[in-house]
């Protein structure tokens, strides 16, 4: 399985010695996949939607509604994947890119930042969501959210603070607002660095939530089964 990773940002230099960069996180989450990297945030995109078996898009410190050329081109490429019936999985910013590329709407959530471990209720269990669970825990680090679903999109999981946490569009495109690729240590580091932006109460609550188990292995299994669909 060759996965084209649309890299939409990079880990800040002061954190790379401990946490490495986003491609390393994705390789650790999906060790069985071969990743081909495209620095989308630098304007690098695949020449064709058939270049890889599947494409994934990473998180980013940017917002998908920013008027930046690389964001517009990345949205256009994701739309082309959909039109070509290709596989795509988006993570956080990538989740939001998919939504906007296919007609949805992203904006800052009224609930503000979502950080730490959040529990989501599974609204609909798809065949690829095996092992099956009705509630799942994932690491969050966002303030933008998908507020309106893309055309033909369905919400598979969410909670009061993030109603559209996992989306599916058609049979071959799926995305998650959370960060299954993050470690708890990295999520904590980001929270501690952003106290002024997030507020001390939200950061303290987020750090306390890190005691909960995160369903990283489960999500890996879901992705494997999603990509094996006929």
Q: How confident is the model at residue 151 (pLDDT cuts 50, 70, 90)?
A: confident
Domains and CATH numbers, the chain: 2-227 (3.40.50.880)
Residue range 132-161: mean pLDDT, rounded: 96
Predicted structure pTM score:
0.96
C-alpha distances in angstroms, 174 versus 44, 61, 87, 217?
A: 22, 21, 8, 17
Angstrom distance (rounded) from CA 87 to CA 174 = 8
**In contact, 61 and 87? CB cutoff 8 Å:** no
Angstrom distance (rounded) from CA 166 to CA 86 = 18
Instruction: From 144, 178, 181, select the one nearest 24 (Cα to Cα).
Output: 181
**In contact, 102 and 61? CB cutoff 8 Å:** no
Which residues contact residue 141 at a Cβ distance below 8 angstroms, ignoring those fewer than 6 apart? Answer: 59, 92, 114, 115, 179, 182, 187, 190, 191
The pLDDT tens digits for 187-199 are: 999 999 999 999 9
């Amino acid at each position: 399985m060759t996965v084209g990773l649309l890299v939409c940002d990079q880990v800040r230099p002061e954190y790379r010695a401990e946490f490495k960069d986003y491609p390393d996180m994705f390789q650790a989450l999906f060790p069985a996949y071969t990743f081909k990297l495209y620095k989308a945030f630098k304007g690098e995109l695949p020449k064709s939607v058939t270049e890889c078996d599947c494409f994934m898009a990473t998180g980013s410190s940017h917002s998908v509604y920013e008027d930046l050329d690389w964001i517009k081109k990345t949205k256009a490429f994701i739309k082309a994947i959909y039109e070509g019936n290709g596989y795509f999985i988006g993570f956080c910013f990538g989740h939001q890119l998919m939504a906007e590329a296919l007609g949805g709407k992203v904006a800052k959530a009224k609930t503000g930042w979502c950080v730490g471990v959040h529990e989501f209720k599974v609204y609909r269990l798809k065949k690829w969501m095996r092992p099956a669970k009705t509630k799942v825990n994932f690491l969050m680090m966002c303030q933008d959210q998908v507020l309106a679903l893309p055309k033909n999109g369905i919400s598979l999981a969410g909670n009061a603070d993030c109603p559209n946490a996992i989306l599916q569009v058609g049979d071959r495109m799926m995305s998650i607002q959370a960060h299954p690729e993050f470690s708890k240590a990295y999520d904590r580091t980001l929270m501690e660095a952003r106290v002024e932006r997030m507020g001390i109460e939200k950061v303290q609550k987020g750090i306390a939530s890190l005691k909960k188990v995160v369903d990283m292995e489960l999500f890996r299994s879901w992705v494997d089964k999603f990509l094996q669909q006929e």
